[in-house]
Amino acid sequence: MKTLTTKKIKTIPSSLQGILWSVNVKNLDLANDKVYIIHQVLMYGTLEQIKWLFKVYGKETIKKVFLKYPQRIYNPPAFFFLKNFLLGFKNISLSEEKYVTSIF
C-alpha cells in the first residue's frame, strides 16, 4: 500500500488555487484535507493537475477516498469516466446519488 508522499511534496502548488477555491492553498494540509483536495482535483482539475494528485497520494489512497468519502460534486459524464476508467471501478456498483449533483 502506498502512503502519502508528504515528505517529498509539502506544499500545494498555487496553480491549484482555482479548483481549491474555498480555502487558500497555503492553508491546506495534504494529509488533513486530502478528501477535499482529491475530490476537487478529480472533478475540476486538468490532466496535469490530476497527474500531480496521483503523484502525491497514489492510486490506492485516491480510490479509498473516492469510495469511503463520496462527495456530491460530479456531473454524470465525469463520474462515469472517473469511476469506470480512471479509478477502475467498472464492475463495482456505486450510488450515483452520493456523487452526482444532478441525475438526468
Domain boundaries, the chain: 29-98
Residue 25 has what pLDDT?
Answer: 95
Residue 1 has what pLDDT?
Answer: 44
Local confidence pLDDT in tens for the 104 residues of the chain: 444 544 467 789 999 999 999 999 999 999 999 999 999 999 999 999 999 999 999 999 999 999 999 999 999 999 999 999 999 999 999 999 999 997 55
Q: Which residue has the cell 497555503?
A: 26
Q: What b/e readout covers 32-45, taking b as 16+ CB neighbours within 10 angstroms?
A: ebbebbbbbbbbbb
